[in-house]
Structure 1
Amino acid sequence: MAVAMGKAVFLGRCSTSSLSNTAIFRGRNINRFSAARPRPALRSSIAARAQRPTWLPGLDPPPHLDGTLAGDFGFDPLGLGEDPQSLKWYVQAELVHARFAMAGVAGILFTDLLRVTGISNLPIWYEAGAVKFEFASTETLFIVQLFLMGFVETKRYMDFTNPGSQAKEGTFFGLEAALEGLEPGYPGGPLLNPLGLAKDIKNAHDWKLKEIKNGRLAMVAMLGIFVQAYVTHAGPIDNLVTHLSNPWHRTVIQILSGVSP
C-alpha cells in the first residue's frame, strides 16, 4: 500500500511538473512567436518603405529623408541633410540651381539653333559674354546685373529666414499683390505664375515633383554642354548635326579618343 501511495505521489509530481514545464515551454514559444511577428505599425512602415521609390532599388533611405520632400528618393550618401535647418537650405539651393539650369539649357539650345540655321548672326553661347554691345559697356552691364541679382537674392534669403515677410505691403515697390508668394521657393501671382498652376502649393506635390525632375535633368544637361564645349569647341546643335551626319562613326567614343573618320 505504501508502495502504491508512493507511486501515486511520484506520478502526481511528475505530471504536475511536466504540465508546468509544458506550459512554460509553450509560453516561451508563444512569446518568441509574438516577438518574431512584426507589429502592425512596423509592418506598415516596412510596407511603406518597400513601396517608396528610391534612387537605388532595395535601398533603405536615411531616416532624415522620409519621403515628404518633392523629389526625395533617399539620395544623401554624404549625410548633408541630417541637420533639419541645413536640409531646408539645400532644398532651396537645389530649386534655384534647377531653375537656372532649365533657363540656361533652353537659352543655349534656342540661340544655337538660330545661329546654326543662319536665322540670326549670334555668337556661340560660351563667347556671348565677351560680345560688346552698343547700348551699354560691359562694366555697366555687370554693375546692373550685380545690383539686380543681388537685390532679388537678398529678398529671397529674407523670405527664407522669415517666411511671408516679403509679401507684406511696401516690401516690393507695391508689387506684392502681383507676386503673391505661396511659400519659400514658390512665388506666384500673374508675374511668376501667369497660368495659375499649383495655387494650392501645400497639395501641389505632383507639380513640385515634375519641376525638380526636369530641373535635375537640366543640370545634368548643362554639365554635358560644358564638357562638349571644352572637348569639341562647338555648340550642342553643331555636335548634334555632326553626329547625325555619320551616326555610326561620329560618336562620343571617337571624339574622346581623338579619331576623326
Structure 2
Amino acid sequence: MAVSMSRGFLVLPCSSSPSFVGRGTHRPLLSARNVVWSARQVPAHRFVVHAQAQRPTWLPGLDPPPYLDGSLAGDFGFDPLGLGEDPDSLKWYVQAELVHARFAMAGIAGILFTDLLRVTGINNLPVWYEAGAVKYQFANTETLFIVQLFLMGFAETKRYMDFTCPGSQAKEGSFFGLEAALEGLEPGYPGGPLLNPLGLAKDIKNAHDWKLKEIKNGRLAMMAMLGIFVQASVTHVGPIDNLIEHLSDPWHKTIIQTLAGTT
C-alpha cells in the first residue's frame, strides 16, 4: 500500500518481507531510490482542511439556535427563552425591538439635551421624570393627552397594518395623498423625504450594514435608558447631575459608593 505523508510526498510500494544479501548482511527495505517526491501524484485537496468561519455570537463558543441563522440584522444567537422559535412570532419580535430601540434613542437624546439646558441654566426646564406633571400654558393636560393618544394611535395602527399586509399603506389614497412623501421601503423601514431625508439605504434589501448599525445603537440606547431609570430612582436627580457629581470626585463618587449609601 502506498502511504502519503504531507503534500507531494509519496512512498512507493515495497515488499513486506525482509530481504538479506549474503550471510550477516542486511539491506534496508527503504532506500533513497524507493522515495519519490512528486507534487502531481497526490492531489493537493486531500491535505487542505477547510475551517468554516463561525459567525459571532453573544457568548463566544455558543451554538446559536437553528432558527437564528444570522440573516436578521443584529442576530447574535441570543434567545435564551426560545421566544423566536415560531417564525410568525419572530417577525413580530423583530419589529417590536426595532420600535423600542428607536423610542429609546429618541428618549436618550431628549433627556440628555433637556437636562443639559436645565443644569446650565439656559432654560428653566423640569427634570425629565417630572416633565409629565408640568402644566403647560398653551394647552391643558387632558387636551395634550387626547391629541397624543390620537396621533400615536394612528401611527401605530398604520404600522401594524403595514406589518400584516406589507405594501398596503403605500397605495394611493391610503395616507391623505402623502404616500409618495413617505415611500415605505419594507415593514419597519419607512422612507421618503419625511422619514429618510438624507436618502440613506434606498436599497433596503441590501442595506444590512445600516440595519446593523441602527439596531446596535438602539440596543445600547435601551440599556442606557435602563441605567437612567435606576439612577433617577436611587439618586433622585438627572443624568447630567450624576455625571457632574462623579467627575468632581471620580474615586469616591461611583455607583458602588452610591448603592452602598442607600442600603
Same fold (TM over 0.5): yes
Tell me, yes or no, if structure 1 residue 142 matches structure 2 residue 145.
yes
1:211 to 2:232 alignment: no
224, 227, 237: which one aligns with 2:227: 224
- One of 92, 111, 116 as aligned partner of 1:113: 116
TM (normalized to structure 1)? Answer: 0.81
- Select 2:243's aligned residue among 234, 240, 243: 240
> Does residue 68 of structure 1 match 2:42?
no
Measured in 2, the distance between the counterparts of 1:251 and 1:238 equals 13
Mapping 1:174-189, distance limit 5 Å: 174-189=177-192
RMSD value over aligned CA atoms?
1.1
For 2:135 and 2:176, the matched residues in 1 are separated by 32
**Structure 1 partner of 2:31:** none
Alignment of 1:27-106 (within 5 A): 47-48=52-53, 50=54, 52-106=55-109
Distance across 2 between alignment mates of 1:173 and 1:132: 33
Separation of aligned partners in 2, 1:226 and 1:220: 10
- Shift of residue 142 of structure 1? 0.3
Q: Which residue of 2 aligns with 1:160?
A: 163
Secondary structure of 1:257's aligned partner: helix
Selected match of 2:134 from 118, 131, 137: 131
Using the TM superposition, give the Cα deviation of residue 47 of structure 1 relative to its aligned residue in structure 2, in angstroms: 1.3
CA drift at 1:108 = 0.1
Residue from 184, 189, 196 that aligns with 1:193: 196
Moved over 3 A (4+): none
Q: TM-score, normalised by structure 2?
A: 0.80
Secondary structure of the residue aligned to 1:80 is coil
Q: Name stretches of at least 5 consecutive residues in structure 1 with no aligned partner.
A: 1-42
Percent of pairs identical after alignment? 87
Cα distance in 2 for partners of 1:239, 1:231 equals: 11
AA aligned opposite 2:198: L
Q: Give 2:16's aligned residue.
A: none
Per-residue Cα deviation, 1:20-53 (whole angstroms, up to 9, x for no partner): xxxxxxxxxxxxxxxxxxxxxxx97x714x2x00
Give per-residue Cα distances to partners, 1:52-103, cap 9 Å, x unaligned: 0000001100000000000000000000000000000000000000000000
Aligned residues: 214
Aligned-partner Cα distance in 2 for 1:90–1:144: 28
Q: Distance in 2 between matches of 1:134 and 1:122?
A: 14
The structure with more helix, counted as a fraction of residues: 1
Structure 2: distance between partners of 1:212 and 1:68: 14
Say whether 1:257 aligns with 2:254: no
The letter for the 2-side match of 1:83 is D
For 2:175 and 2:61, how far apart are their aligned partners in 1? 48
What do the CA deviations read for 1:185-238 (whole angstroms, capped 9, x no partner)?
000000000000000000000000000000000000000000000000000000
Q: Alignment partner of 1:57: what SS? A: coil
